[in-house]
Structure 1
């Protein structure tokens, strides 16, 4: 394996039995003596003479304030670091044993931590830094040491696959040393935020969002500042510092998704060849839905009702990913509204009696909302009805607008249909006399949407009728056979959206 290292810009090394022994540079305070410092920070007072010789101190009781005292880390008080599982989505294991939310892990060299598909885990390290591990990740703990007198830690993680986001807090007394090793790079930083993604065994990407890191490899070194990233290939010098793409604009996405698959579309950015999307469901059961790379600025996931959070990062052709954009939304797509046969949109009534005819069976229940006009936001009336009790009377004549939703088993309405208009007290000579049968479903807010209605008489293998249209309204001018039909409404678009809006039954008399 090619040795590729990224060191702290301020790391100083001394000879203490071994070359490159790490050390802490302590700023001497007024009143400090070598012995008071040793009692506080060294694991043994017996180490004080070594520190004295290393720093060329003549009088251990007369230290110059504001000067620097070099203390080798192996001489300091220390213990094995711990980490708290602050967040867990899906499945994660340490040495093959399941990790539990809130669990405290004692980190030790050689431990292996894995996450499953659509899983993630956040580890809050003892000194306060946060490590967020994405799906399908595998890493090994190389070192985990905590220095209790300073509150700092030295952590070294070897990542074999997956991505890790790191938020390393700044410790003014002693820098935290946080190192991420991959098959092609090693990053070691302090007080910064960065992300490491292992695409394959020969390549890794480092993206810096705060502070600065220096990526060094066998063939060279590259400093990376916040807002930039670098890709390192095995056996090569680190790639040049490249500006990270900005966060995608997700503001046009609606806060309520009434369709499933959900319609998640955003504006494509120049110079971007894909988007890393992550979808979390926050309610009613918290879990990760998916984490994937999309090659275009749209995604159509099939979702249950609930609360969700979408995170999107733009990806450059090099594999570097930019700043994340987040969008929270609610899915309220089930149960879908029924197929509507009557009353047709624009129907003129002889009197004030409405006879509703929807798809569904004897267990189906519906909620019809009645509005005085199309601009009304609050319904004038609301009726709960079934197919056996589907006749209602308008409170007065004139023009009305209505819409329908199907009720779920708990009696809650799903999304409503589009609005339909009806005119009552139109007079006999103006009443509507429709021929044939008209079917109506709700339209989708998608350009180029195509709708297909299939009717299959129950007991038959082949469809009785198939209707295709650019609008979700179909007309059958000939009389259909009486009986019960299986109904299917499918929606598709040229860019790949595919939905089964409805699978239901329909009684035709």
Structure 2
């Protein structure tokens, strides 16, 4: 065998033809030159769109006597090997691009094209399509051990169906689909033909069931194209290809040794191929693709780097960057159960606090109705230490969290129960935050809530929780609590709404977030007897002791009770002049306000007199020759 033949034969050792017993040249020629259709035809048909030549034909032409080909005339072996070497080279170059477009069958004794067409295509009459694709001369004389290609587009078309739907998901059917009317809203149970494109809104989710039972869980804010849904024969295994154009998809492919399913998940940078497994594919905004394998194994291949391919086993992941580089890593461990939130009480948002992502780039979070994670209500990918979703109704759910590493590969999942209890909503505070309230009359107020029959108000010391509150009251007449039982100090309080159900039972909603306040004693009551009076320029003036930051209220009336004051003013200095008061008897009461804003009680009444001084045109009192002020007669 020439060197050219050696190179040709080396191009496909995995599909080499079994050695045939050596025979005499004449015997072999008489046997193979008998009038019958040839096993393989050479040269290939010029109408073929590709130069398709199996490895068996290479071996048959180069590694065996030339009488295996159409024998007349006998070609020089060197020339034939050169041509076949070129054919093998062309085949090798196209193998990578066509690998996912064909299904390969190794020929067994007794196989015919009709049998294979019935098995793979479900119709024996389509054997000529296999013959034309593989350049087979006779459908009845197939060489055992050789490999026959079945183009996947010839397989019978299958459909998928909507298994579960939450939120708004739209579908754009293929142009060839009968009755196609553009993009429309998806409905539960809807059949999806090959070529359908699904778009999942940011707050939505959809599970798609393939014909073989495989489940595709398309995450929020994702676009998925059902590129190929083909079945071997009428009831054979499914050959599926989906294209993730943005977002994420999690796949569960049930193992079936009798009819192994084939699923390829493609993105712009990588292809993840499985044969019975559970995994997720996540496409980042920069074009990189992350694959995390929970069960089985996944073959991950880069589109830009042909040599960047790896079989990723259970518990590991792979990431293909936008420039085609492949990275592998063990999945991050699951979060401890104690770090998963178990209660959500916000009626506007579903806020889920998470640990700071010290090892990774964020989290993949799902909220589901069932423990198996099939009915997903909320899902998304988050950076930082909090996941925020739109609110869900009160009830019991399951929370599933996966920490992502620096390549965006989600780790092992942690799952726990999640209770949502947000109604009836708690009241809003009317008392100002950090208010300073008097110890002799703490007054805490909140806004009423429609449909509520009572309110529960608790007070605890600052820095203490509410497991043993200092006060715990249920009030039914308005949302307020007044107490005189608190010593001076720092506290916080919270309140919850209580409604009465139709069956007569009460239902308490969540507490509001605690709000701080401070209880302080009121300033001391001013001593009216300590007031100092003098008269300057005929105007009575009062003085008293004060402290920095204090202010004072002056109430002047004709009676001690000050029911109808003639003057009610405030001064910032511990002094006041009784100007602009007509002559007569008055009563004065004083109140002090300290820097915290608390007012003391009003002092007892102090009587004083304004004399009827005679005043000049400037308002100053007239004086006699002796220097004394002059009184009116």
Q: 1:357 to 1:213 in 2, by over 3 A?
A: closer
C-alpha distance in 2 between matches for 1:317 and 1:362: 47
Q: Does 1:478 align with 2:599?
A: yes
Q: Name the residue aligned to 2:564.
A: none
Q: Secondary structure at the match of 2:284?
A: strand
**Which residue of 207, 225, 228 corresponds with 1:143?**
228
The CA deviation at 1:197 is 1.5
The CA deviation at 1:318 is 1.7
User: Where does structure 2 lack aligned partners over 5 or more consecutive residues?
Assistant: 1-13, 18-39, 54-94, 96-101, 132-137, 173-182, 432-436, 459-465, 483-492, 524-595, 602-633
Q: Does 1:128 align with 2:191?
A: no
Q: 1:22 to 1:54 in 2, by over 3 A?
A: farther
C-alpha distance in 1 between matches for 2:449 and 2:254: 62
TM-superposition CA deviations, 1:410-466 (whole Å, max 9, x none) = 6743225799xxxxxxxxxxxx99859xxxxxxxxxxxxxxxxxxxxxxxxxxxxxx
Q: Name the residue aligned to 1:413.
A: 508
Q: Does 1:333 align with 2:410?
A: no
Q: Name the residue aligned to 1:231.
A: 319
Normalized per residue, the structure richer in helix is 2
**Which residue of 294, 318, 341 corresponds with 1:209?**
294
C-alpha distance in 2 between matches for 1:12 and 1:195: 33
C-alpha distance in 2 between matches for 1:240 and 1:316: 12
Q: Name the residue aligned to 2:261.
A: 176
User: Where does structure 1 lack aligned partners over 5 or more consecutive residues?
Assistant: 1-10, 57-67, 350-354, 392-401, 420-431, 437-474, 481-509
Q: Name the residue aligned to 1:455.
A: none
C-alpha distance in 2 between matches for 1:418 and 1:45: 73
Q: Name the residue aligned to 2:240.
A: 155
Q: 1:173 to 1:52 in 2, by over 3 A?
A: farther
The TM-score with structure 2 as length reference comes to 0.49
Q: Give yes or no for contact 1:176–1:191 (8 Å, CA) kept in 2.
A: yes
Q: Give yes or no for contact 2:163–2:189 (8 Å, CA) kept in 1.
A: yes
Q: Secondary structure at the match of 1:406?
A: strand
The CA deviation at 1:154 is 0.6
C-alpha distance in 2 between matches for 1:412 and 1:85: 38
The CA deviation at 1:249 is 2.5
Normalized per residue, the structure richer in strand is 1
**Which residue of 73, 85, 89 corresponds with 2:162?**
85
TM-superposition CA deviations, 1:271-311 (whole Å, max 9, x none) = 313223344689xxx984562322x3334667465235433
Q: Give yes or no for contact 1:89–1:121 (8 Å, CA) kept in 2.
A: yes
Q: Secondary structure at the match of 1:41?
A: helix
The TM-score with structure 1 as length reference comes to 0.59
C-alpha distance in 2 between matches for 1:174 and 1:362: 61
The structure having more radius of gyration, on CA atoms, is 2
Q: 1:326 to 1:476 in 2, by over 3 A?
A: farther
Q: Name the residue aligned to 2:71.
A: none
Q: Secondary structure at the match of 2:141?
A: helix
Q: Secondary structure at the match of 2:308?
A: strand
Q: Does 1:104 align with 2:191?
A: yes
**Which residue of 292, 296, 306 corresponds with 2:381?**
292
C-alpha distance in 2 between matches for 1:22 and 1:39: 12
Q: Does 1:360 align with 2:447?
A: yes
Q: 1:99 to 1:310 in 2, by over 3 A?
A: same
**Which residue of 321, 343, 356 corresponds with 2:410?**
321
**Which residue of 104, 117, 137 corresponds with 1:23?**
104
**Which residue of 190, 194, 197 corresponds with 2:279?**
194
**Which residue of 246, 259, 283 corresponds with 2:333?**
246
Q: Secondary structure at the match of 1:251?
A: helix
**Which residue of 196, 199, 202 corresponds with 1:117?**
202
Q: Aligned residues, how many?
A: 379
Q: 1:225 to 1:406 in 2, by over 3 A?
A: same
C-alpha distance in 2 between matches for 1:148 and 1:409: 63
